[in-house]
């Protein structure tokens, strides 16, 4: 798997490139900086990340508010938590208000590395 990359690594590279091009991108996480592997982004752009703690509902609501203020808000969290815990906020805050929020669902690690293939982290082949 030497030519495969984890989705989070590709995501961080894309975030950095977007901000360098002038995109007003703000990642919003729910205490998932290690799952999102976002340390390189934080190092290069300190103060641009919003970490709401273990609160997926607040993560989505905060992202919607940032988007309404003109930012490009991107949530980064484990898929099960984003979908099951923040379902109502996705519907009301993001969809009904037609906000420019990007919902990025990442698979938690390292726990899933031991699970069967359907729950393995997504890889990007280059």
Question: Which residue bears the tokens 């069967």?
Answer: 116
Average pLDDT over all residues of the chain: 83
The pLDDT value given to residue 3: 53
- Tell me how far apart the alpha carbons of residues 3 and 71 are, in angstroms, rounded to a whole number: 33
How many independent structural domains does the chain possess? 1
Question: Which residue bears the tokens 């030519």?
Answer: 3
Give the closest residue to 105 by CA, choosing from 4, 5, 7: 7
Give the range of the structural domain holding residue 101, as residue numbers without chain letter.
Answer: 4-107
Residue 119 belongs to some domain of the structure: no
Answer for the pair 122, 107: CB distance below 8 angstroms, yes or no.
Answer: yes
Residue 113 belongs to some domain of the structure: no
* Per-residue pLDDT tens over the stretch 4-57: 567 778 889 999 999 999 999 999 998 877 777 889 999 999 999 999 998 999
Q: What CATH number is attached to the domain comprising 56? A: 3.40.50.970
Q: pTM of the predicted model, to two decimals?
A: 0.80
- Tell me how far apart the alpha carbons of residues 18 and 72 are, in angstroms, rounded to a whole number: 10
Residue 121 belongs to some domain of the structure: no
Residue 123 belongs to some domain of the structure: no
Instruction: Say if residue 119's pLDDT is above 50.
Output: no
- Find all residues with CB under 8 Å of 22, minimum gap 6, and list them: none
Residue 126 belongs to some domain of the structure: no
Residue 50 belongs to some domain of the structure: yes
* Per-residue pLDDT tens over the stretch 42-92: 999 999 999 999 899 999 999 999 999 999 999 988 888 888 889 999 999
């Amino acid at each position: 798997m030497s030519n495969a990359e984890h989705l989070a690594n590709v995501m961080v590279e894309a975030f950095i490139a977007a901000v360098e091009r002038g995109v007003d991108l703000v990642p919003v996480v729910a205490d998932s900086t290690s799952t999102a592997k976002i340390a390189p982004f934080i190092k290069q752009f300190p103060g641009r990340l919003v970490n709401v703690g273990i609160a997926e509902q607040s993560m989505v609501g905060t992202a919607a508010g940032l988007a309404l203020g003109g930012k490009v808000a991107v949530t980064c969290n484990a898929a099960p938590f984003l979908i099951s815990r923040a379902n109502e906020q996705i519907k009301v805050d993001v969809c009904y208000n037609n906000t420019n929020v990007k919902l990025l669902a990442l698979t938690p690690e390292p726990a899933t590395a031991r699970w069967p293939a359907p729950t393995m982290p997504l890889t990007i082949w280059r």
